Amino acid sequence: MNTKTATIIYWSATIFMSLWFGASGFFELTGNPIVWGITQQLGYPPHFIYILGVFKIAGIITLLIPNKFLRLKEWVFAGMFFDITFAFFSKISVLGFPATVDAIIAFTVLSAAYLMFRKLYPAHYAAVAPAAVS
């Protein structure tokens, strides 16, 4: 796969995830009754919903800044992964498998974005990887 293709896949997946998490974060911060109802039904407290909203918005801002904050973007990808994982298992245990379709889609798109991120910034990983121990 060439760099142009990887870049298109990366930005397409990143924009999709940014729209997804941006809408979710916005609804969490504005107290949308549907989002809040589902999140509370899953057992999460109100203060946690606000925290999720703040971190989702901050994360997508970080992801959308090109060629900057590469280490921080790693943390954003990790945070999104944990968010999706917790959503998946919370939904499967409380609401059943059909409620997890959104988490499966999000995980697939996030995985594509992350894999392309790793492909586009390999020098970043060489510079921050610990030295091999003989």
For the segment 18-38, the average pLDDT, to the nearest whole number, is: 96
Domain boundaries along the sequence of the chain: 3-120
Give the long-range contacts of residues 111-119, CB within 8 A, separation 24 or more.
Answer: 112/9, 112/13, 113/9, 113/10, 113/13, 113/14, 113/16, 113/17, 113/77, 114/77, 114/81, 116/6, 116/7, 116/9, 116/10, 116/13, 117/10, 117/14, 117/73, 117/77, 119/1, 119/6, 119/10
pLDDT of residue 22: 97
CB atoms closer than 10 angstroms to residue 17:
23
pLDDT of residue 49: 95
Q: What is the pLDDT of residues 30-81, one digit of tens each?
A: 999 999 999 999 999 999 999 999 999 999 999 999 999 999 999 999 999 9
Residue 129: pLDDT above 90?
A: no
pLDDT of residue 14: 97
Give the confidence band of 106 by pLDDT, cuts at 50, 70, 90: very high
- What's the pTM value of the predicted model, to 2 decimals? 0.87
Give the confidence band of 89 by pLDDT, cuts at 50, 70, 90: very high
